Structure 1
Amino acid sequence: MSQAIARRVPSQPRVAVPATLAEALDAAWLGEALAAVSGSRAIVAVRQVEVIRTVATKVRFAVTFEDGEVAHFCLKGLLDVDSMTARGGPTCVLEADFYGKVAPITDVRVPDAVATVIDREAQQAVTIMRDLTIDGAAFCSALDPFTADDAVMSLEQLSLLHARSAFLDEADWIRPRAAELAKMSYVTPDMLQELLDGPRGDNLSSRVRNAQNLAVAIKALAVRDSARPQFMIHGDAHAGNTFRTGEGMGLIDWQLLQRGGWALDVAYHLNAVLPTEIAETDERRLLGEYLAMMRGQGMTMPNTEEAWMQYREAVTYGYYLWSITRRVDPPIIVQFTDRLGKAVMRHDSFGLLGVS
């Protein structure tokens, strides 16, 4: 039996979405949220193990049921956030829907989600998963460097997602994120230029560091990408959204799940996870490995030269994504913008997209 068939669909308990960490770790609330997996046993104790706060909060915790059994979980959602951050709630709903609708039909290695609590009217959600760390999984840091061999394993996971893209035919809730980014108005050209003038752009050419050029390039990429076959893609596959187990790599953080060209994922992924010197020497070979994986799963892919051109253009997506990022630790922003910006320079991505 394949992993996709064996994976359980998480329950969707009718309980309120917690807004604070205290609410999320309340024994009575967890008893209702986990009723389907616990057989409705009461929870008599909750122990917080670890809290990781980025934009969303991830909290690892252990619960003790009334019969003495202890189980370990991880909950992710927007907890204790201000009103501005709370506007990101739709991305949490998207992630919850990934675990409820997409994960069960793919072979991508992901955490086992046991419950998703969704308020569609308020556009807020949390996802409760089994704690993979207890079983020996190691979550990568965003700054962890990948080797070329590591990238083969992570590309395999992306290919398993991309190969199930027929799912998009009945999933209009999975949106074309690159096109929506290109139309975004809340990051003005002046704001973007100010960001690029900071440390994140220190090692980039003036042409690539130019906000106007980048704005034109992302719009041109969105137009070209929308005319190509659409795939179901992760959208944010940097090292910090991967984990390792004895069986291989897996992917987490599905808040930017989207439809788009396969190259958006592959070009962003390779140039985010690989140090620049490794990307320079190995990316074309790794692209060939990915194309072979996809063809091996029965997918029609472009020829080598066309794929290489799409890849070179698509680096712009990742570069734009990190150029506009503000609410992440500065060393992470600087590393990813630097790596992806250097890839834009190396591939003349702006030139390919008609930016003079």
Structure 2
Amino acid sequence: MDRAEVPEKRADALAPGWLSRALGVEIVRVETVEVIRTVATKVRFLALPADGAPALALCLKGLLDGDEATRMGGPTMVKEADFYGLVAPHVAVQVPHHVTSVIDREARQAVVIMRDLIAQGAQFCSALDPFTADDTAASLEQLARLHAGAGLLANRPWITRRIDDFARRPHLSAGQLQDLLDDPRGNGLGARTSNASRLLSALVPLAERDGTRAQFLVHGDAHAGNIFRTASGPGLIDWQLLQAGGWALDVAYHVAATLPVEIAAREERRLLDHYLAVMRAKGCTMPDSDTAWREYREAMVYGFYLWAITRRVDPPIIHAFTARLGAGVERLGSFELLGV
């Protein structure tokens, strides 16, 4: 539901009056359970209704208490809110139960309110939680469920191709990016891999080639920190980078980001074949194994770029993901395949 009143402060978002209007239920008291700050703020809380009904265990997500640079990311929160309202009901992906979203389209800001999965027994993975190859296979099946909803793109033009944006307008100049790659995140990578100009140049042919292929609903940020586990299997959260694109953007990123380098190197071809088999079983037309392997190898550049530019995350996570994805680019010859 669209409303103009999107709070900027956590205190305002947790005020009983605002929550009463957002939820359509009179709330008399709010008890904060946990606050998680990354780029967005996530708050687990209990909302106590005025009629004496049991407390509602909820989780609210928004760009709260942030600076102006953080607030500029508002369109990504609008996209996440629209995912829950306009896409999630039509795909078989396991996601948090969406209660409501409050959206100000003119200001391009939104807040999403969901059921608290932890209160329901779910466990959230941390970004560096150990994954086995079987764990990654299970979460690839969730990505396949999303990708199989590609038909939804036809009437949802707001789901755009982000890889084109990255290629045309990179977040950072080559000099700024090189400064980041020269910090500890680039340790252990070869000089040709940690070359910022080469990485930015590779985005252009990647975007061009990706745009000629079948387009899918792509999560866009499928690392372990965006996975939760339940008794019925894994699910996906954080839909701010939802986009249209080739399936390999998600698959290459996910395999390399969830697995230690040596396990990814040993298991990635098998995992790719598993994903392709799941997609074909869903009636999707997919490339043959060798073509898919090439697309996978090229797409590793996407995740490497995302973590090379990342600044507002704990350094150990940045360093680990940049190392894993950069090692994938080296191992798979991604730059060479893209002609840079």
Using the size of structure 1 for normalisation, the TM-score is 0.94
Q: Distance in 1 between matches of 2:138 and 2:49?
A: 38
Structure 2 gaps, min length 5:
none
TM-superposition CA deviations, 1:77-131 (whole Å, max 9, x none): 0001111110000000000000000000011000001100000000000000000
Equivalent of 1:205 in 183, 190, 214:
190
Aligned to 2:15: 26
Structure 1 gaps, min length 5:
1-11
Which letter does structure 1 place at the counterpart of 2:18? W
Q: Distance in 2 between matches of 1:313 and 1:298?
A: 25
Equivalent of 2:246 in 234, 256, 261:
261
Question: Residue 13 of structure 1 contacts residue 115 of structure 1 at CA under 8 Å; is this kept in 2?
Answer: no
Q: Distance in 2 between matches of 1:287 and 1:339?
A: 17
Question: Residue 242 of structure 1 contacts residue 252 of structure 1 at CA under 8 Å; is this kept in 2?
Answer: yes
Q: State the Cα distance separating 1:186 from its structure 2 match.
A: 4.3
Q: State the Cα distance separating 1:67 from its structure 2 match.
A: 2.1
Which letter does structure 1 place at the counterpart of 2:7? P
Matches within 5 A, 1:1-356: 12=1, 14=3, 16-35=5-24, 40=25, 42-69=26-53, 70-355=55-340
Q: Distance in 2 between matches of 1:294 and 1:193?
A: 38
Q: Where do 4+ consecutive residues of structure 1 move more than 4 Å?
A: none
Which letter does structure 1 place at the counterpart of 2:19? L
Q: Distance in 2 between matches of 1:265 and 1:305?
A: 18
TM-superposition CA deviations, 1:303-348 (whole Å, max 9, x none): 0000000000000000011111111111110000000000000000
Question: Residue 276 of structure 1 contacts residue 339 of structure 1 at CA under 8 Å; is this kept in 2?
Answer: yes
Question: Residue 35 of structure 2 contacts residue 43 of structure 2 at CA under 8 Å; is this kept in 1?
Answer: yes
Q: State the Cα distance separating 1:185 from its structure 2 match.
A: 4.5
Q: Distance in 2 between matches of 1:15 and 1:337?
A: 39
Which letter does structure 2 place at the counterpart of 1:218? L
Which letter does structure 2 place at the counterpart of 1:173? W
Which letter does structure 2 place at the counterpart of 1:18? P
Q: Distance in 2 between matches of 1:100 and 1:241?
A: 19
TM-superposition CA deviations, 1:53-88 (whole Å, max 9, x none): 111000000011112221110000000111111000
Question: Residue 15 of structure 1 contacts residue 33 of structure 1 at CA under 8 Å; is this kept in 2?
Answer: no
Aligned to 1:8: none
Question: Residue 29 of structure 2 contacts residue 48 of structure 2 at CA under 8 Å; is this kept in 1?
Answer: yes
The size of the alignment, in residue pairs, is 339
Q: Distance in 2 between matches of 1:184 and 1:323?
A: 15
Question: Residue 3 of structure 2 contacts residue 104 of structure 2 at CA under 8 Å; is this kept in 1?
Answer: no
TM-superposition CA deviations, 1:6-33 (whole Å, max 9, x none): xxxxxx1635101100000000110110
Question: Residue 217 of structure 2 contacts residue 245 of structure 2 at CA under 8 Å; is this kept in 1?
Answer: yes
Question: Residue 34 of structure 2 contacts residue 44 of structure 2 at CA under 8 Å; is this kept in 1?
Answer: yes
Q: CA RMSD in A?
A: 0.8
Using the size of structure 2 for normalisation, the TM-score is 0.98
Identity of aligned residues (%): 60
